[in-house]
Amino acid sequence: MLRLSSDRILIALAPDSLALLRVSGGARPRVSEKLTIACDPALGTAPWQGAAAALGELASETRDANAAVTVVLSNHFARFILVPWSEGLGNAEEEAAFVRYCFAKVHGERSKDWDLRLNPTPSGSARIASAIDSSLVQAVRAAFPTTARARLVSVQPYLMSAFNRWRKDIKGERVWFLLVEPQRACLARLEGGRWSAVRNTRGNFDEPGQWAGLLDRERHRVGGAESSEGVYVHAPRNGNSLSVEGKGWTFRSLALAPAEGLAPAESEPFAMALCAL
């Protein structure tokens, strides 16, 4: 009988980079392999094609590894909407059709070719749904076929892997969760622990002043009190010690715990992958 391995391979895909970590052990995971690969964001007609090509080449060298594979996709590759709760949905098929209808209302006919996922939430709550180009999902699955020893167990947007990583640390009646990547910010609001808004936008968000501007615009768009609201931020390029108050906002840094085998000084390129650990 083939012995199952506790090893995990965590892969993060972004327009200009691929990051891989191989992690061994359960309760005390240790990084046993790490690498980054530059990708060409201009390759092909879609922003993910360069990353998918790099993944295909890398997978040919790793698919014999006895490990479970998780792939985290940059928010550059995802769209998000808030799907209202509907009591009239009787089964999973009706729910999927409703989510597709909600995406079509926002994005039109092009959404028919997207792979849609709905984030589970308590009954009666609005839910965040994500959409990824179906061709990207197919490329990831093709990189790790069912015949390979490396088993693809999850493909997830960065927003969801990061929120799942920190959901127990996010506290407050009305708070925002801000996830910053190069040339991208993804922002979601929770009220009473329930989703009330989500925004995924392109732009330069390197500094807290730019975060405040985004939050001001989003609060104006969705409504809300002018009083200060807490913001939980994961911005790996800004370091792990950031805690800033200003312009009516309080920013609290969400820092990843150190991983054995990965020095803190070299962890930033692997932050997206580490969120799935």
Position 149 in a domain: yes
What is the pLDDT at residue 240?
56
Cβ–Cβ < 8 Å for 200, 79: yes
Burial class of residue 169 (count of CB atoms within 10 Å of its CB; 0-12, 13-18, 19+) = exposed
- Here the tokens at position 158 are 């960065």
For 207, the 3-state DSSP assignment is coil
Position 140 in a domain: yes
- Per-residue pLDDT of 117-134, as tens digits, reads 998 877 788 999 999 999
What's the first-to-final CA gap in the chain, in angstroms?
A: 27
Position 19 in a domain: yes
Cβ–Cβ < 8 Å for 142, 135: no
Position 30 in a domain: yes
Q: What are phi and psi of 198, to 5 degrees?
A: -150, 140
Position 153 in a domain: yes
Cβ–Cβ < 8 Å for 186, 159: yes
- Reported as a pLDDT band with limits 50, 70 and 90, residue 77 is very high
What is the pLDDT at residue 4?
53
Between these two residues, 108 and 245, which has the higher pLDDT value? 108
Q: Which residues pair with 151 in a beta bridge?
A: 68
Average predicted confidence (pLDDT) for the chain: 90
Position 101 in a domain: no
Measuring CA to CA, which residue among 16, 57, 19, 55 is closest to residue 38? 16
What is the pLDDT at residue 182?
95
The single residue listed with the structure tokens 């209302």 is 105
Residue 245, Cα to own-chain centre: how many angstroms? 26
Least confident of 103-112, 119-128, 148-157, 235-244: 235-244
* CATH code, domain with 146: 3.30.420.40
Helices (H), 205-265: 208-222
At residue 193's C-alpha, the angle toward residues 197 and 160, to 5°, is 60
Query: Side chain identity at 85, as an amino acid letter?
Result: W
- Per-residue pLDDT of 168-214, as tens digits, reads 999 888 899 999 999 999 999 999 889 999 999 999 998 888 999 99
What is the pLDDT at residue 273?
97
- What whole-number percentage of the chain has pLDDT above 90? 68
Distance CA(217)–CA(6), nearest Å, equals 45
Position 60 in a domain: yes
Overall domain count for the chain: 1
Position 238 in a domain: no
For range 149-172, the mean pLDDT? 94
Handedness of CA 105, 106, 111, 115 (dihedral sign): negative
Domain that holds residue 42: 8-74+133-161
pLDDT reading at 236 higher than 50:
yes
